[in-house]
Structures are given as structure tokens and as C-alpha cells.
């Protein structure tokens, strides 16, 4: 039995083990990324529905701001003329349609 060949075999075995560990880490990383991607893909339909609801709410609020802007304009212009009856009419109309 040769001493040198035994040492070379141990070194080769250690190199094989190190290579296997490195490949295992690579595979584990890929599995983790795929798991994350699959979980994210499953959540997308609900996330899309939530975003659509948020967009609708945003549109509703923007419409409301536009209505308030119109009311303010209708109140300020007659206020400059001091048409109290017109101001009361506009505020009553707003009161009927407000939240």
C-alpha cells in the first residue's frame, strides 16, 4: 500500500464533499427562489382584486373632491355678490349629496 495514494484519495474525497456541499447550497437557493415565486404567483389574483378596489375608491374620492370644488366655486362667486339665498340653495344641494 502506498502512503501517497491514500493521501491523494482523502484529498479527492474532501474535494468531492466540498463540491457536493456547494452544489447543495446552489440547489437550495434555487428551491427557495422557486418557492417564493410560486407563493407570490398564488397571491397575485387577490392582490389584483385589492388594487382594483383601491382604484375604484380613489376614483370615487377624486369625484367627490371635484364635486366639493364645484360647490366651493358656486358658494364663493355668489358670496362675492352676497346672494344669501343662492348660497343657502347650493349648500342645501351639497348637504343632500354629501357622504
CA gap 68, 63 in Å, rounded: 9
Structural domain including 37 reads 3-97
User: Which pTM does this prediction carry?
Assistant: 0.48
| pLDDT at residue 80, as a whole number | 62
Tens-digit pLDDT string for the chain (99 aa): 444 566 676 688 888 888 888 898 999 999 999 999 999 999 999 999 999 999 999 999 999 999 888 888 877 766 666 667 777 787 787 777 765
CA gap 53, 30 in Å, rounded: 35
| pLDDT at residue 95, as a whole number | 75
CA gap 31, 9 in Å, rounded: 32
Angle at which helices 3-81 and 84-97 pack, to 10 degrees? Answer: 150
| pLDDT at residue 79, as a whole number | 63
| pLDDT at residue 91, as a whole number | 76
| pLDDT at residue 78, as a whole number | 64
* Number of domains the chain is built from: 1
| pLDDT at residue 52, as a whole number | 97
Number of H helices, E strands in the chain: 2, 0
CA gap 65, 81 in Å, rounded: 25
Fill in the DSSP letter of residue 82: T
Task: Give the rounded distance of the alpha carbon of 82 from its chain centre.
Answer: 49
Amino acid at each position: 500500500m502506498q502512503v501517497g495514494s491514500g493521501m491523494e484519495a482523502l484529498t479527492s474525497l474532501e474535494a468531492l464533499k466540498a463540491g457536493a456541499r456547494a452544489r447543495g447550497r446552489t440547489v437550495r437557493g434555487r428551491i427557495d427562489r422557486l418557492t417564493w415565486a410560486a407563493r407570490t404567483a398564488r397571491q397575485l389574483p387577490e392582490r389584483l382584486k385589492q388594487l382594483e378596489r383601491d382604484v375604484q375608491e380613489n376614483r370615487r374620492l377624486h369625484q367627490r373632491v371635484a364635486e366639493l370644488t364645484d360647490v366651493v366655486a358656486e358658494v364663493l362667486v355668489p358670496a362675492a355678490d352676497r346672494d344669501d339665498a343662492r348660497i343657502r340653495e347650493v349648500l342645501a344641494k351639497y348637504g343632500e349629496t354629501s357622504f
